[in-house]
Amino acid sequence: MAGHSQFKNIMYRKGAQDAKRAKVFTKIIRELTTSARINPDMESNPRLRQAIIAARAANMPKDTMERAIKRGAGGEDNTDYVEVRYEGYGPGGVAVIVEALTDNRNRTAGEVRAAFTKFGGNLGETNSVSFMFDRIGVIRYLKDKVNYDALFETALEAGAQHIESTEQSHEVECSLEDFASVRDALMAKFGDPESAELIWKPQTMASVDEDKASSLMKLLDVLEDNDDVQSVFENADIPEEVMEKLASGK
């Protein structure tokens, strides 16, 4: 959204996602298990560490988290999950990137394609829209938990590129290559962040009117409701009053 954090759209959508806590847990458990199968040591496995941060941020019970890691580390869950990325255009020409972790590529591709088609979008080929985004790391701390100046100094020394403050949080951006080192430096000083993730940050935004925004949000909801889908990113520039109206269901 122009003049606002690129996470604003995500935050509005997150309200609906919070009501689907069980689904959120399912996605995180899948990532914990898959990451632990690679290496169950959090200190030497950045992907597992990232999954644990997500689990804590979602208030996942510790025993649930530990069971998922143990299942992956011990080979009890032998489901072969693969990472897949889908790209396309949603209503209003909005570029959309969908990241999935699936044990059945054909099923997931079919469901993602059906969602795009139903809501007036088009699924494209890999790299059809990702060139309009930058792959970066983002570590987010709540404002009432961390002092901006202290965070800025530590982040800068660790190699961060940019810090943006919203109404509720400070968001530290860094390159893909520096993500693990910046995240670990911040965690060593300030503890667990609200979130730490790799995102696709749009280079340019696509203006969307209220009619197209409604269809777009429905598409994003369906995609995020899919158990195989881990993350969804887009470059929609939607007026804040429209987002609030859509979020309230009016």
Q: Give the pLDDT confidence of 102-128 residue by residue, as tens digits.
A: 999 999 999 999 999 999 999 999 899
Q: Is the pLDDT of residue 173 over 80?
A: yes
As a whole-number percent, the residues of the chain with pLDDT over 90 amount to 68
Residues 78-88: tens digit of each pLDDT: 778 899 999 99
Beta strand residue intervals within the chain, DSSP E: 82-89, 95-102, 122-123, 133-142, 162-165, 169-175, 195-202, 206-207, 229-234, 236-237
| DSSP summary character for residue 79 | -
- pLDDT: which is higher, 72 or 132: 132
Residues 12-53: tens digit of each pLDDT: 555 555 556 678 898 999 999 999 998 888 888 888 999 999
Confidence (pLDDT) at 174: 96
Is this model's pTM higher than 0.75 or not?
yes
